[in-house]
Structures are given as C-alpha cells and as structure tokens.
Amino acid sequence: MRGLKDKRVVITGGASGIGAATAARFLEEGSKVAILDRDGPACARIRTELPAIAGTFLADVADYKQVQRAFGDMVVALGGLDVVINNAGISIRHKFLDITPEEWDKVLAVNLTGVFHVAQTAARYMMEHEGGVILNTASTNGIVGYPCYADYNATKAGVIELTRSMALELAPKVRVNAVAPGY
C-alpha cells in the first residue's frame, strides 16, 4: 500500500479478526487509525496490541444514534476523516428453515443496516469536506452463496449492491468499493 501516511482511518469491527489485521496494516503505513467496535474487552485488548491507534470507540453499528455519537468523537480524535473501512459483521450459522425471525433481524441489522449507518454518516462528512474513501467488507458468500448461511449471504449480497449504488452517487468526491473475502 502506498500513499497512506497520515491518512485518517476508521475501521468498524476493528477490535478483532480482519478488522484488527487491517488496523495493524494501516498503522504500518503511517495512518492514524480509530476503531469502532461494540466489544469493550476486545477494544481494551487491541489498545494493548496496537498502542499506536488513535483510539477505540464503543458503538453498535446497528444503532444509528450510537454511530452518530461515535463518529463525532472519532473525527475529533483523528483530526478529520479520509478512509472508512466498513468491516463489522456477524454470522449465525443455521439451516434456512431453522433461522428465527430474531436471528434474521440481528444479522441484517449488523451486516447491512450497520454498513448503511456507517457509510451514510461517513459519506455526509466526506462530501462536506475533502472527500475520501469508503471500503465495505462484503464476502464471496454474497456472490456464490453457501448452505447454512442464508441470512449472512443475503446481507453480503446487499452490501455489494449498496456499494455499487453508493459508488455511482458519490463519485467522484467519495470513492466507494467493496472487498469480498472468502475462505
């Protein structure tokens, strides 16, 4: 990666897994990184593992008001905003006929509505300022689909289409892409 020195980066779901690895990589490139996550103990661990981060901010991406509050704090901590990595996501593995309405709602709330909340909040800021980049984490599940992941597959397909729409509407000031990790 090049050109990331001093970029101000927010990573959702950044306290563990792909998000934590992404945070570490951006820090290696000299970026200023803030992590948004709903897991307090994981945020405490990542602050120890990556002491160079600008901060961790507790919020559930499925809750619009929490996202709004956290973004205000993150922008202040970073001194602005250049890049948002929309990485937060959950998976509840069940056969299609066994998914409860509550489980369906929970997965959609985090994986799709959460991406919307964060992306829209970030895009509004970026459109009013110098622009920026929004990178949404989709999945190969949103392209191919896998058994026992109907809810997850549906959300990741939604992220892919949301990304396409955002890219068309926000260009050229805000660049929007998705990555689709697989197994």
pLDDT per residue as tens digits for the range 95-116: 999 999 999 999 999 999 999 9
Euclidean distance between CA atoms 90 and 150, whole angstroms: 13
Three-state DSSP class for residue 105: helix
At residue 1 the predicted structure's pLDDT band, cuts being 50, 70 and 90, is low
183 catalytic, yes or no? no
Q: pLDDT at residue 155 above 90?
A: yes
Question: Measured in whole angstroms, how far is the alpha carbon of residue 173 from the centre of its chain?
Answer: 19
Say if CB 86 and CB 178 are below 8 A apart: no
Tally the C-alpha atoms within 13 A of residue 108's C-alpha that lie toward its C-beta: 11
Q: Give the torsion sign (CA, 176, 130, 34, 23).
A: positive
Euclidean distance between CA atoms 106 and 100, whole angstroms: 10
| Token reading at 56 | 């961790």
Sheet holding 132-137, edge to edge: 55-58, 32-37, 8-12, 83-86, 132-137, 174-179
Q: Which is it for strands 32-37 and 83-86: parallel, antiparallel or unpaired?
A: unpaired
pLDDT per residue as tens digits for the range 31-81: 999 999 999 999 999 999 999 999 999 999 999 999 999 999 999 999 999
**Given this model, what pLDDT does residue 2 score?**
74
Q: Catalytic: which of 64, 149, 152, 183?
A: 152
Q: Give the CA diameter of the chain.
A: 48
What is the percent of the chain with per-residue pLDDT over 90, rounded to a whole number?
A: 97
| Token reading at 10 | 């927010």
